[in-house]
Structure 1
């Protein structure tokens, strides 16, 4: 293999730039030409591709977002769109592709592999919802952004003796909510993987108020529902002054933490190793601090599992 391409797809995640840097420099170290594909699969279809050098990825390891930009591309879900992408790969002589993103990105990688173009996926998503890896690139940074926000909101909640509902991202996974809630001592954590009886949440709030508790923090994963609607229901039921904060896309940005920079560097380099070793249709991950790789098809059919022991602990500590 003499030429490898790299792209980022789907939602951006802090640490993607560190992964791009690792892919580029690992390739150059092994005398492999490396090409950056901008704007994800849309850029692949359009031929928005350029050769990358060592300097192309200088001074990006500390930056959030993605130097290669990202876009969602409905056309690439079709056979015709995939064939257009393959034509561009042939035009540039690219023999293998590193795809950095989430499950949607991996589906594209799987299709290309099936059609004869070897791909390796690198899990980059703040949601931490990819099976086969303990952590995804961007999760740790987003988590710390949430914790910092909750700390500040708690100051206001204490000062005004209010209940706060804080809605966090995570799509259909509750990892961000669970980890942030446990780290910040939230009274209630609502995640899609566990059913919480609304009456129990209300009873817990009332018990706290009766024993003199002046404020409460409730963390709501977006997969459960609307934070605004939940806050209105709580205020109606408890008559306690309730405010809602939807953190939104602030969770995606910012300089990646050390953990995300190191994880991204390790996974990006491992992806190149797999391609050079003749492996395709794989996803790299980390389990028990060891690098692993799995069949992408299995990753896409398996279901992400949350740590329910942590969820149980959060309830025990929030009495």
Structure 2
């Protein structure tokens, strides 16, 4: 009989045995990382990370990063679903469904991003709603980086600069300066222009923006003025632009130029980001940016009828702050 339980110190060893079968990254089975990622207290019961047991054996797991969501001016306790894994010998036997059912009792709203087509179809059958998210973009600083997105890795193309880099030489070096998260939170107010988005409080900034030992490098914040600012991090020669605000496309290009100047000595290969701004979305493909054909898909589960009715056909203001990529 399958039982679902919260992760705790009692089950750390059993989870390690399970996780080592499916992940090569050591952090996936390090308790201190698990408690950090799912925003828990070490050695305490972790309700945001659940395990499926067959007897004393772990046969599945599901992560639920706590967050808050503003829906039409009201804030709800919510969670981002991630890290679902089921023992290959138990797939098709209802283990994932039990994990989902247990998870839905945790918070009023459960969210997910970019599920596979098969997973999305299955989740919609279970009552999830599919929402519109932002456009995805990449700017490749080398021609070869664009071809890698198509699965082509060519040594010659990997050393040819993107010809659109010439655009950046038209701008003087932008005077962005590093700011702290308190200042960033002050200027990054989206409440007046959006109805459906994650709310970032002090505890979120402390968790998401600060580094955590060797597992996570944290997020840096930069500001030119109150209308031009951004946040992001650089890892494995890629800069992840987690969020930004600019006054126009020219200021956006100045921001990218600043990042290129800052990281070209570290051999930056590309910048990755999502964008909710329709004007920028429409112009960037003509400036050397690769726009993905599909938008970010957000899925939402709740039992509250009022929420279900409100979110239909709505856009979710989603940024890479909400993603668990690289954490």
For the aligned pair, the TM-score class normalised by the smaller chain equals under 0.3
Structure richer in helix, relative to its length: 1
TM value normalised by structure 1: 0.28
TM value normalised by structure 2: 0.27
Structure richer in strand, relative to its length: 2
